[in-house]
A and B are shown apart, each in its own frame.
Chain A
Amino acid sequence: MSSNINSLDPYIKKSSVFHLLDSRIKLLITIGFIVTTALLPVGSWAAFILLVAIVISVTMVTDIGVVYVIKRSLFVLPFVLAAVPLLFTVPGTVLFSMTINASHINVTAQGVERFITILLRSWISVQAAIVLISTTKFPDLLAALRSLKIPKLFVNIMGLMWRYLFVLTDEALRLIRARLARSGYSEQVKRSGGKLAWRAKVTGNMAGSLLIRSLDRSERVYFAMVARGYDGEVRSVPATALTLNSWIILLASCTLFCFILLFGWYTTTL
């Protein structure tokens, strides 16, 4: 069980052009891409297809596996439930109607359009985010956040969090394994343990002991840091200036996004 926790780190080591790109540029391009997706009008199918094509081709270039990215992107699917009512509530041309329990429900063309647009937007955005995180080491991403003026304290805390994420998820998995080991399970009852409130309480006790272990660990970590010269200041290598190449790539992507937006609005508003 605990062996699979290493797969928590989504970074996939390859040597593609996209991996080598400056993490600041990658972050900005990804955000630009997602903003573009959000700015496209409802029903601009051609532009959305173009965006899908771009994400998939970038995935191909990065060598992290198109199937992997698509599989991972499907984890947003449950949230789609939130948008399902749109199919029935947006007024417009009725595509077909159903009768459930003697009440009429109309599915409208506009509703379908809006629903699919939301689906596409979130699917494309998630893929972009997956490509970003699969090709960028998290510390590099933190450095990029730092140079985008995110407060130092916040970035430092996330850095430490990242460092101990694996240690503490392992700790949590050990707690779960221990509970599994001491819980009986029978085919007749189909569940182990006592009543619902009791099970919640046991889980809570586990969370409590996880927190206590973490507090103790943070003491030890603090002393280890002090022993190595920590004085309340987390120092890191100063960021290098962006190369001309990076600027060109950034500019080119922004231009591309503007063109896609123009294309999207042009093809749908006419």
Chain B
Amino acid sequence: MVFSPVLLHIPDGFLSLPVAIGFWIVSTLLISLAIKNVALSLDDRKVPLMGILSAAIFAAQMLNFAIAGGTSGHLIGAALATIILGPWDAIIVMASVVTVQALIFQDGGLIVMGANLFNMSIISVFVANWTFITFKKILGQNRNALFIAGFAAAWLSVFVSALAAALELAVSGTSPANIAIPAMAGVHALIGLGEGGITVGALGVLYAVRRDILSGEANQTRSNKTLWFGGLATVLLLLVVSPFASQFPDGLEWVAEKQQFLHLQRPALFEIIPDYVFPGIANEVAATIIAGIIGIILVMLVALGVALLRKKRETISTK
């Protein structure tokens, strides 16, 4: 709500139900996999550690710095969590951040939460993990390598998850792909710079004060080959699919055309259909308005009734 890195938290209503449900299934599977992996290596101090780090990532998202003209940059935190905790733990930490944001602050909807979890806790961690390992492999183990790898991981994770969000919006028919994808990509290429800067600053402090965290056990799970390929596949897929998809103005329309269910589209309500008959009223617009008014009156009456009943009960109980 107040502290949100906006635009990545998709609210309810902006994704079509099949897309929302599809992402719920994918996210549930992947998060369960992460939970299984974490539970395998679970020493009992992990629950408080991950709980408190989730709260810390949430709080760290409040830290912002002025960019220009009233806008400000702030942290999303997936890359930082991945570097400190390793990928599986980071997925769970980011997932609880996203869930709490949706449940408590309505930052992101409830039935589209599967998609939000996918973008912000799964894709971003996979991508951050892949980028971080790859850069470290190439650049070596020194301090600057750490910072460059951290910056790249932060930037790419924000950029790729924004592409994913744009694609989801396009497939749902909410935002035309040829506008949504370049717009989201452009905005988040900039937001990613802020994310990268903050991540490097944070790594600087961690490197100076607690170097043990950066070279700890998180590295063991991080070097997992399957995960590396998973990250590579995610990056490639989204970077290749997005420019391709953005050639089609309307994802849904395009899919609909392919599937031959365009006939499902109805004529607009504004073209008044003459033979429409609502009990007694021949005009559709009037019928709709009247139905609405009747509905409002009915529901308000019920609400008032309940409220009155409660008042009565309260007065009885105070007597």
Contact = CB atoms under 8 A, between A and B. Distances in A.
Interface of A: 8, 10, 16-17, 30-31, 34-35, 37-39, 41-43, 45-46, 49-50, 53-54, 57-58, 60-61, 72-73, 75-76, 78-79, 82-83, 85-86, 89-93, 95, 109-110, 113-114, 118-126, 129-130, 133, 138, 141, 151, 153-154, 156-165, 167-169, 171-173, 175-176, 191-193, 196-197, 199-212, 214-215, 217-219, 221-222, 225, 230-232, 234, 263, 267-270
B104 A138 contact: yes
Contact of A159 (B51, B104, B291): B51
B13 A267 contact: no
A89 B269 contact: no
Contact of B110 (A30, A78, A158, A268): A30
B62 A172 contact: yes
B78 interface: no
Given A46-B291, A61-B307, A125-B13, A35 B300 contact: no
Nearest to A133: B104
A130 B174 CA distance: 23
Chain A interface mostly? helix
Contacts of B11: 76, 79, 122, 125-126
Nearest to B300: A57
Contact of A54 (B176, B210, B299): B299
Given A138-B104, A218-B48, A50 B42 contact: no
Contacts of B63: 172, 175-176, 203, 206-207, 210
Contacts of B229: none
13 contacts: A53-B295, A53-B299, A58-B303, A73-B106, A82-B14, A82-B174, A82-B175, A109-B270, A119-B13, A158-B51, A168-B52, A221-B52, A232-B44
A156 B51 contact: yes
Q: How large is the interface on B (under 10, 10 to 19, 20 to 34, 35 or more residues)?
A: 35 or more
A79 B10 contact: yes
Contacts of B55: 160-165, 167-169, 214
Given A85-B176, A160-B47, A172-B59, A201 B53 contact: no
Contacts of A154: 31, 35, 92, 95-96
Contacts of B198: 200, 203-204, 207
Contacts of A215: 49, 52-53, 210, 213
